[in-house]
Amino acid sequence: MNIQPQFSQILRRSLIPVLAVLLCTVPPVSAQTKDTTSVDITRQVDGTPALDTDVTNRVKSAIAMDNALSGFDIGVVTTKGDVHLTGSVDTQLQINQLVAITRDVEGVKSVKDELKLKP
Protein backbone atom coordinates (compact mmCIF):
# COMPACT_ATOMS: atom_id res chain seq x y z
CA MET A 1 0.00 0.00 0.00
CA ASN A 2 1.36 3.38 -1.02
CA ILE A 3 0.71 6.05 1.62
CA GLN A 4 2.48 8.87 -0.21
CA PRO A 5 -0.66 10.19 -1.99
CA GLN A 6 -2.59 10.13 1.29
CA PHE A 7 0.23 11.94 3.06
CA SER A 8 0.41 14.60 0.32
CA GLN A 9 -3.30 15.16 0.56
CA ILE A 10 -3.18 15.50 4.35
CA LEU A 11 -0.19 17.82 4.11
CA ARG A 12 -1.94 20.07 1.58
CA ARG A 13 -5.12 20.20 3.63
CA SER A 14 -3.25 21.24 6.76
CA LEU A 15 -0.79 23.68 5.19
CA ILE A 16 -3.22 25.68 3.08
CA PRO A 17 -5.18 27.06 6.06
CA VAL A 18 -1.94 27.83 7.92
CA LEU A 19 -0.53 29.70 4.94
CA ALA A 20 -3.77 31.60 4.48
CA VAL A 21 -3.68 32.76 8.11
CA LEU A 22 -0.06 33.81 7.81
CA LEU A 23 -0.67 35.79 4.64
CA CYS A 24 -3.59 37.60 6.20
CA THR A 25 -1.57 38.69 9.23
CA VAL A 26 1.33 40.27 7.29
CA PRO A 27 0.62 43.94 6.58
CA PRO A 28 0.99 45.05 2.98
CA VAL A 29 4.13 46.99 2.10
CA SER A 30 2.13 50.16 1.50
CA ALA A 31 0.85 50.07 5.08
CA GLN A 32 4.34 50.18 6.54
CA THR A 33 5.51 53.64 7.56
CA LYS A 34 8.98 55.09 7.74
CA ASP A 35 10.40 55.98 11.13
CA THR A 36 10.51 59.79 11.10
CA THR A 37 12.26 60.01 14.47
CA SER A 38 15.55 59.02 12.87
CA VAL A 39 18.49 61.41 13.11
CA ASP A 40 18.95 61.26 9.34
CA ILE A 41 16.42 63.41 7.54
CA THR A 42 15.44 62.35 4.03
CA ARG A 43 15.13 65.13 1.48
CA GLN A 44 14.68 65.38 -2.26
CA VAL A 45 17.76 66.41 -4.23
CA ASP A 46 17.32 66.58 -7.99
CA GLY A 47 14.32 64.26 -7.66
CA THR A 48 16.16 61.59 -5.65
CA PRO A 49 16.20 61.09 -1.88
CA ALA A 50 19.37 62.22 -0.08
CA LEU A 51 20.17 61.47 3.53
CA ASP A 52 21.97 64.06 5.59
CA THR A 53 24.65 61.48 6.37
CA ASP A 54 25.23 61.08 2.62
CA VAL A 55 25.64 64.83 2.23
CA THR A 56 28.05 64.92 5.19
CA ASN A 57 30.10 62.08 3.71
CA ARG A 58 30.24 63.79 0.31
CA VAL A 59 31.43 67.05 1.91
CA LYS A 60 34.10 65.23 3.92
CA SER A 61 35.26 63.41 0.78
CA ALA A 62 35.43 66.64 -1.20
CA ILE A 63 37.53 68.27 1.54
CA ALA A 64 39.80 65.22 1.76
CA MET A 65 40.46 65.40 -1.99
CA ASP A 66 41.88 68.93 -1.65
CA ASN A 67 45.55 68.49 -0.67
CA ALA A 68 45.75 71.97 0.88
CA LEU A 69 42.79 71.29 3.21
CA SER A 70 42.89 67.57 3.90
CA GLY A 71 45.23 67.90 6.89
CA PHE A 72 42.84 70.02 8.93
CA ASP A 73 40.35 68.58 11.42
CA ILE A 74 37.12 70.00 10.01
CA GLY A 75 33.80 69.10 11.62
CA VAL A 76 30.89 68.60 9.22
CA VAL A 77 27.31 68.22 10.45
CA THR A 78 24.31 68.23 8.11
CA THR A 79 20.71 68.83 9.16
CA LYS A 80 18.05 68.91 6.46
CA GLY A 81 20.69 69.83 3.89
CA ASP A 82 22.11 72.68 5.97
CA VAL A 83 25.83 72.01 6.49
CA HIS A 84 27.60 73.30 9.59
CA LEU A 85 31.42 73.56 9.36
CA THR A 86 33.62 73.80 12.46
CA GLY A 87 37.35 73.67 13.09
CA SER A 88 40.48 75.77 12.79
CA VAL A 89 42.60 76.59 9.74
CA ASP A 90 45.60 78.82 9.03
CA THR A 91 44.18 81.44 6.65
CA GLN A 92 40.97 83.15 5.60
CA LEU A 93 41.64 81.84 2.09
CA GLN A 94 41.36 78.27 3.46
CA ILE A 95 38.04 79.14 5.12
CA ASN A 96 36.77 80.56 1.83
CA GLN A 97 37.92 77.44 -0.01
CA LEU A 98 36.20 75.11 2.51
CA VAL A 99 32.93 77.02 2.17
CA ALA A 100 33.17 77.00 -1.65
CA ILE A 101 33.91 73.26 -1.77
CA THR A 102 30.97 72.57 0.55
CA ARG A 103 28.54 74.68 -1.49
CA ASP A 104 29.45 72.71 -4.62
CA VAL A 105 28.52 69.35 -3.06
CA GLU A 106 25.25 67.81 -4.26
CA GLY A 107 22.53 68.01 -1.63
CA VAL A 108 23.91 71.04 0.23
CA LYS A 109 21.16 73.57 0.81
CA SER A 110 23.18 76.10 2.83
CA VAL A 111 26.52 76.40 4.62
CA LYS A 112 26.98 77.71 8.15
CA ASP A 113 30.63 78.70 8.60
CA GLU A 114 31.94 78.54 12.16
CA LEU A 115 35.52 77.96 11.08
CA LYS A 116 38.21 79.82 13.01
CA LEU A 117 41.70 81.01 12.28
CA LYS A 118 44.46 79.39 14.32
CA PRO A 119 46.20 81.84 16.64
The answer to the question of residue 93 being in a domain is yes
- CA quadruple 12, 15, 21, 24: dihedral positive or negative? negative
The answer to the question of residue 3 being in a domain is no
d(C-alpha 31, C-alpha 92), whole Å? 52
d(C-alpha 18, C-alpha 8), whole Å? 15
Confidence of residue 114 (pLDDT cuts 50, 70, 90): very high
SS3 label, residue 29: helix
Query: What residues make up the domain containing 44?
Result: 33-117
The answer to whether 97 touches 69, Cβ cutoff 8 Å, is yes
Counted domains in the chain: 1
The answer to the question of residue 11 being in a domain is no
d(C-alpha 44, C-alpha 64), whole Å? 25
The answer to the question of residue 4 being in a domain is no
pLDDT, one tens digit per residue, over 59-84 is 999 999 999 999 999 999 999 999 99
The answer to the question of residue 50 being in a domain is yes
Confidence of residue 3 (pLDDT cuts 50, 70, 90): low
pLDDT, one tens digit per residue, over 5-58 is 665 666 566 656 655 665 665 555 544 444 443 344 445 555 445 689 999 999
Q: How high is the pLDDT of residue 112?
A: 97
The answer to the question of residue 8 being in a domain is no
The answer to the question of residue 6 being in a domain is no
- For residue 88, the domain's CATH number is 3.30.1340.30
The answer to the question of residue 68 being in a domain is yes
